[in-house]
Chain A
């Protein structure tokens, strides 16, 4: 936020590309660069606060969009935006957050790529259907995909001992101890974000794997071949273990210490913030169960409340860009072209026309008639004589 709107459109690409680029590597390069810029952030507290603000707004923004999307890939894209918000938030917290930002980046690489490949596997089995309202009850027919997807799910919503718990919750915890009162507010928002994460992910789980089969008549879902399931299994192992591996014994912290310095003493793994975040996540899960697990999911989306409608339209990110940037830019371009043709070039052409016109008029004096020349000579001589007389007098 506010430079996010391209991501959802980029989901048009093939799913493995989305998994690699839009989830695991390219988009997180921004977080890497922020952490790399730690010497700059160290001398500018204001910039850090700005980074924290952007991170917090982004994590809520992405989460809200993810809640409203029925397209599984777009919902995951909103989730990616939200998770990157957490990483950015971590990077903005200074030495307390760098390690966790990078840890979440790595763990996110596993679980989000796993989720995307899972989504791809489902689409493979469902004739490239992306609408989750057309899924449902797929857990039985696609056991491997559903289990790996489920492990990644537990990781992203931060259930211990999966990797999200070790990497995301400490960022929320550190948020409370930095930036004074503002930190408390932002920390609370980050906690709400954890609840939102749990909500949209649980919603996705229920809509895809459980409940009634809402398949299109011609859909014949089946488990994907080994070449597709094995990568998901590998990523699932990472989703489960990466967080604990990186954070326990301060492995990543020691590894990164020469670059980003040592964070101030943390509260240990099971911090207060971690437990509160877990509580928020469980509330999110419960809410999603009430809305999507307990009652059947309608195959056609209801109209929804204003926030839902807005979130389906990416919270008007594209509309904002179009009205604030594209339209004025278009007008500026048209105005400039007009100015160049009529103003700058017009001036040149006017000058040329003036010279041409003057010479044309002067040329008319050269009539070729001796009598007109004689007349003008007579007048000229008369004027000269008159002038001489005036000067003499």
Chain B
């Protein structure tokens, strides 16, 4: 509560930007094309500027964040609706911080990459970029909220800008996809709303809160709920998050939405919005309902493993580049949920790091696929071929992003996937073995897509394809640099994540399993200098 409200500022900057852009006066219909272009460029530059300022603010937050300090930092609490105990309460732990950082890094990248995405003339360009900035505010808010009601508000409000970005600026069956996305998410959100209200009711009955109902996360974690109540409320939250994430079998909205959305919106959808689901599982499902979470763990682990294999196999069979990438995300979210519900410190740290890396890797791949599709006019993989000899830089970056998808050692995704698998193996061996097969399937879908699209004889339609323009290179390069950088030296990020993971584990009353094998016990004894 004390000090400068950094988080509010971080959230307010993009909102301000959105308002400024929306207020750019429109031109009369008969004005010159050049004038209209100038206005549009102004909107784009403003959007880029505001997103960069937000990035700077978040970098300041990250630098000021004390590793090893209190779990929640930069906290702000103001009473919002006293009648219902609703607070405007913000704060970040290590997990939320890295996710916010990922979101604000992706935002300028996406703005640069989708510079011309809204130019179809159907809808106004400035609205598109204004919506993006509104979405950024929501993304920061949803990760920073420490009041369950406030979280719910951001959680639902995020749908609105995304709905318009898909429905108005998308391609293909955009209306169908947008409505499907909205209905699916609203359905989950309403289940969560029921659980949120129930939380309030139970908190009002609890002596911990002095019989005052509250939505404050810091107080709710101390409210003792009976195991039965925990199971039901867990389900309410979990289904909402499972749809958002998306876990198998709640995933079918994602390929439709990602394929219909403009590439930039697809990056935000898969890279950030979906992470709210897995973030929510970790923060809310675990810490509020520990025994409920434990009860449902076998089910979630099973769904995750099915999702990993199923998503990958279906991805292999896709004809469309965008749908293929969307299905790989189904597989990757299986990995994230698996790591979270393995409930080991390695698994949870790995899953959190995975969320960040997946945002960058999938983001880069989606953006590059978007460039390819914009050049060729179709997203059928079979319509490409030989791109690598015409546009080597584009193909090379596509390959690196693809290799990140299959978790090649040296890239940051490898670190996180490896942590998830180790963390899972120490508790659920069979699940870990099946999940490992997902890596092989990942190699098939990535390399086969690359082979079909980039190698082979150059098709006539591909011949005139220009290589990356400087603006496009500037958009993708930071992501590739981050993937390689964090792959070689992941420690700074893991240092921020790990303490928060420890706190979460304590809240769930879980410790890492002891090595069971007698040989490893002997080894430990030897290391300690005592004879077995």
Chain A contact residues, CB within 8 Å of chain B: 43, 332-334, 336-337, 340, 344-345, 348, 352
- 25 intermolecular pairs with C-beta atoms under 8 Å apart: A43-B519, A332-B313, A333-B313, A333-B314, A333-B316, A333-B317, A334-B317, A336-B310, A336-B314, A336-B317, A337-B314, A337-B317, A337-B318, A340-B252, A340-B310, A340-B314, A344-B249, A344-B251, A344-B252, A345-B252, A348-B180, A348-B184, A348-B252, A348-B253, A352-B180
B198 within 8 Å of A by Cβ? no
Encode B242-257 as 1/0 by CB contact (under 8 A) with A.
0000000101110000
Q: How far is the CB of A5 from chain B (nearest CB, A)?
A: 16
Inter-chain CA distance A116–B339, complex, in Å, is 47
Smallest CB gap from B519: residue in A: A43
Chain B residues with CB under 8 Å of A337's CB are 314, 317-318
Q: How far is the CB of B25 from chain A (nearest CB, A)?
A: 41
Inter-chain CA distance A332–B252, complex, in Å, is 19
Smallest CB gap from B316: residue in A: A333
Q: How far is the CB of A80 from chain B (nearest CB, A)?
A: 24
Chain A residues with CB under 8 Å of B313's CB are 332-333, 336
Q: How far is the CB of B182 from chain A (nearest CB, A)?
A: 12
Closest CB pairs A-B (n = 3): A337-B317, A345-B252, A333-B317
Chain A residues with CB under 8 Å of B318's CB are 337
Inter-chain CA distance A25–B179, complex, in Å, is 56
Inter-chain CA distance A43–B518, complex, in Å, is 13
B430 within 8 Å of A by Cβ? no
- From B183, B251, B519, give the contact of A352 (CB < 8 A): B183
Q: How far is the CB of B506 from chain A (nearest CB, A)?
A: 36
Q: How far is the CB of B185 from chain A (nearest CB, A)?
A: 13
Q: How far is the CB of B435 from chain A (nearest CB, A)?
A: 17
Chain A residues with CB under 8 Å of B251's CB are 344
Smallest CB gap from A334: residue in B: B317
Inter-chain CA distance A337–B319, complex, in Å, is 10
Q: How large is the interface on B (under 10, 10 to 19, 20 to 34, 35 or more residues)?
A: 10 to 19
Chain B residues with CB under 8 Å of A344's CB are 249, 251-252
Chain B residues with CB under 8 Å of A332's CB are 313
Inter-chain CA distance A340–B307, complex, in Å, is 12
Q: How far is the CB of B438 from chain A (nearest CB, A)?
A: 14
Encode B239-281 as 1/0 by CB contact (under 8 A) with A.
0000000000101110000000000000000000000000000
Inter-chain CA distance A337–B312, complex, in Å, is 11
Smallest CB gap from A346: residue in B: B252
Chain A residues with CB under 8 Å of B249's CB are 344
Inter-chain CA distance A337–B251, complex, in Å, is 13
Chain A residues with CB under 8 Å of B314's CB are 333, 336-337, 340
Chain A residues with CB under 8 Å of B316's CB are 333
Q: Known contacts A333-B313, A333-B314, A348-B180; can you find 17 more A-B pairs with CB under 8 A?
A: A43-B519, A332-B313, A333-B317, A336-B310, A337-B314, A337-B317, A337-B318, A340-B252, A340-B314, A344-B249, A344-B251, A344-B252, A345-B252, A348-B184, A348-B253, A352-B180, A352-B183
Inter-chain CA distance A344–B246, complex, in Å, is 13
Chain A residues with CB under 8 Å of B310's CB are 336, 340
Q: Find residues 164-203 in chain B having any chain A CB closer than 8 Å to their own CB.
A: 180, 183-184
Inter-chain CA distance A43–B314, complex, in Å, is 41
Inter-chain CA distance A48–B180, complex, in Å, is 56
Chain B residues with CB under 8 Å of A334's CB are 317
Inter-chain CA distance A332–B317, complex, in Å, is 9
Q: How far is the CB of A106 from chain B (nearest CB, A)?
A: 26
Chain A residues with CB under 8 Å of B317's CB are 333-334, 336-337
Q: How far is the CB of B404 from chain A (nearest CB, A)?
A: 23
Inter-chain CA distance A332–B251, complex, in Å, is 19
Inter-chain CA distance A344–B313, complex, in Å, is 15
Q: How far is the CB of A40 from chain B (nearest CB, A)?
A: 10
Q: How far is the CB of B414 from chain A (nearest CB, A)?
A: 19
Q: Find residues 294-314 in chain B having any chain A CB closer than 8 Å to their own CB.
A: 310, 313-314
Q: How far is the CB of A161 from chain B (nearest CB, A)?
A: 43
Inter-chain CA distance A333–B448, complex, in Å, is 13
Q: Find residues 472-519 in chain B having any chain A CB closer than 8 Å to their own CB.
A: 519
Chain B residues with CB under 8 Å of A333's CB are 313-314, 316-317
Q: How far is the CB of A41 from chain B (nearest CB, A)?
A: 14
Chain B residues with CB under 8 Å of A43's CB are 519
Inter-chain CA distance A332–B316, complex, in Å, is 10
Inter-chain CA distance A117–B6, complex, in Å, is 65
Inter-chain CA distance A352–B183, complex, in Å, is 10
Inter-chain CA distance A281–B481, complex, in Å, is 56
Encode B377-391 as 1/0 by CB contact (under 8 A) with A.
000000000000000
Inter-chain CA distance A196–B253, complex, in Å, is 60
Chain A residues with CB under 8 Å of B180's CB are 348, 352
Inter-chain CA distance A101–B375, complex, in Å, is 54
Inter-chain CA distance A182–B249, complex, in Å, is 51
Inter-chain CA distance A330–B249, complex, in Å, is 22
Chain A residues with CB under 8 Å of B253's CB are 348
Q: Which of A334, A336, A340 has the most CB of B within 10 A?
A: A340
Q: How far is the CB of B239 from chain A (nearest CB, A)?
A: 14
Smallest CB gap from A339: residue in B: B314
Encode B436-470 as 1/0 by CB contact (under 8 A) with A.
00000000000000000000000000000000000
Inter-chain CA distance A333–B310, complex, in Å, is 9
Inter-chain CA distance A335–B372, complex, in Å, is 29
Inter-chain CA distance A336–B316, complex, in Å, is 10
Q: How far is the CB of A189 from chain B (nearest CB, A)?
A: 32
Chain A residues with CB under 8 Å of B184's CB are 348
Chain B residues with CB under 8 Å of A345's CB are 252
Q: How far is the CB of A356 from chain B (nearest CB, A)?
A: 11
Chain A residues with CB under 8 Å of B252's CB are 340, 344-345, 348
Inter-chain CA distance A340–B323, complex, in Å, is 12
Chain B residues with CB under 8 Å of A336's CB are 310, 313-314, 317
Q: How far is the CB of A332 from chain B (nearest CB, A)?
A: 6
Inter-chain CA distance A344–B247, complex, in Å, is 12
Inter-chain CA distance A88–B316, complex, in Å, is 35
Q: How far is the CB of A328 from chain B (nearest CB, A)?
A: 12
Inter-chain CA distance A340–B310, complex, in Å, is 9
Q: How far is the CB of A347 from chain B (nearest CB, A)?
A: 8
Q: How far is the CB of A320 from chain B (nearest CB, A)?
A: 18
Q: How far is the CB of B331 from chain A (nearest CB, A)?
A: 12
Chain B residues with CB under 8 Å of A348's CB are 180, 184, 252-253
Inter-chain CA distance A334–B319, complex, in Å, is 11
Inter-chain CA distance A82–B316, complex, in Å, is 35
Chain B residues with CB under 8 Å of A352's CB are 180, 183
Inter-chain CA distance A336–B251, complex, in Å, is 14
Smallest CB gap from B327: residue in A: A340
Inter-chain CA distance A333–B313, complex, in Å, is 6
Smallest CB gap from A341: residue in B: B252
Inter-chain CA distance A332–B315, complex, in Å, is 12
Inter-chain CA distance A345–B519, complex, in Å, is 48
Q: How far is the CB of B289 from chain A (nearest CB, A)?
A: 27
Inter-chain CA distance A352–B310, complex, in Å, is 24
Chain A residues with CB under 8 Å of B183's CB are 352
Smallest CB gap from B319: residue in A: A337
Q: How far is the CB of B333 from chain A (nearest CB, A)?
A: 15
Q: Find residues 308-352 in chain B having any chain A CB closer than 8 Å to their own CB.
A: 310, 313-314, 316-318
Inter-chain CA distance A344–B519, complex, in Å, is 46
Inter-chain CA distance A288–B8, complex, in Å, is 84
Q: How far is the CB of A329 from chain B (nearest CB, A)?
A: 8
Q: How far is the CB of A359 from chain B (nearest CB, A)?
A: 14
Inter-chain CA distance A345–B184, complex, in Å, is 12
Q: Which of A334, A336, A348, A352 has the most CB of B within 10 A?
A: A336
Inter-chain CA distance A344–B184, complex, in Å, is 14
Inter-chain CA distance A340–B184, complex, in Å, is 17
Inter-chain CA distance A337–B249, complex, in Å, is 13
Inter-chain CA distance A340–B316, complex, in Å, is 13
Q: How far is the CB of A327 from chain B (nearest CB, A)?
A: 14
Q: Find residues 126-155 in chain B having any chain A CB closer than 8 Å to their own CB.
A: none
Smallest CB gap from B309: residue in A: A336
Inter-chain CA distance A337–B180, complex, in Å, is 19
Q: Which of B180, B316, B318 has the most CB of A within 10 A?
A: B316
